[in-house]
Structure 1
């Protein structure tokens, strides 16, 4: 876990245009995202590719902005001035929890959650226009009902398959691994000729993405994180397409603020993730993703995030659950409760 709790940044520190439009400045139209600038030309690596190397943590985005938009905002992408002021006050109150716990000689969520900076976004989902996940297909609902996870309420535990892949410290899956949550939000990009590697602090997975134009692999070869291929588009954009997902307990929304409350989104072999990393300045990337899984969802859905470079950010151990005993403890406690008639 990354243990240095980020301070609630003053809005004046968010100096780039793209970020300012999502924080202190009032957008001229609350229903329209600003266009992505194509003017910036990043430096090149010694082998001639755009240089995206560095640390791009998304901890600053863990600030009460939900994945799914509250229906009260309709198709508004941004909060009004008054709504943003309320948001900033809530974030400031939450940011004081650690200090309050220290004063009371207590440990709680203030020592666990790494809170970011308030921003104007009403949701991270930008398509569909209502900012919400599309409805599931009938097959998606059927598969969702079969899913098991410690994040689902009222569930008994009796075998290891009653737990999802994150419970078992295997993977958080995609696209969830690219979305902010309450801790371990580090993302680091490495590059070599014809290759990009994206290291994730959560579970310490590393996505290996060839950019040399090599062909993909047979569909019979799959992975819980899928199989990725990348290509450089224009001079400042990396496009990554990921398919060959292994069906199973990976989920798209687990413990991402404002997502559905349970791990209830399965992944099919037809799923495809398309990501665009637009470098808009030396220290800013606009990240876009589109998730399409026609077996599970009735339509694709898309997310847009603003990344900030922070090469001082440190990755810490992701211990998951100490001693790897929690699966057994859940099962033992659940069996005992059932035996006692609880």
Structure 2
């Protein structure tokens, strides 16, 4: 096909429309780009479309291959095994496993026929139950969330193709499509408005502002200051909602090439950065963890000193050193210290972050 505009050119111009809300910025950055396209009429010619006839349905596949798809493939979900592994990274569970191992060894080193080793096995079983329930619960929530998202995103819109109105899925929208908009509709792609009747949109999803943005061809008066906010603009952005009026939009960017898609990609790159609240909660958790660890170490130290004094004074279980008795007692002190630490670490505080 003879399309003379690239995906990058169209996406860049739409992005400039969003990032240039002032009259002076529009004059400097946006209008030259529109003039390079040949104005609204030139856009139609270069995209081989028209507001009253749309595109031929036979070109949909070729346009999707050239300009991109409006369907963004979601990232593959974590496997249930990976979720179980992530659940096992909890410091409390790690130390519980350590305590279970110590308890098991102490029990095995005890008198013949003793069942004290069952305590360690019971702790490991409890950890296994916690990890399994957590992983299964997270996996089910992830599947339900994805199913709801798929239903929410796959809605029907009215377009003009082959000079006829037809209903298509938002996933099937391509660059050059003429989309009919009315009150309550969500804009499914980035584009430029042509025919319109008092069209007003809410861009709160992108800007956080609840004011209605009027849409139409640029309305810049000679008396307008360069620092004044643009009153009317032609660009429509994916994810925004029609609050008033109706109109027709010619699609210029779809999927990841929309302003919304670019922002989502940027947010994925910044996901590793934590918020101020998350950092403060992490610092508090680290502080309490250190205090708990210190309390555990102090407890073990006190018990060992007490044990040493009792042995020195002959008030211990046996006067002569017996590995099977005295080392078991020392290991019990270690179990007590680990227990103090596990109890001291707040379980609910890290969850507050999520």
Scaled by the length of structure 2, the TM-score of the pair is 0.23
Scaled by the length of structure 1, the TM-score of the pair is 0.23
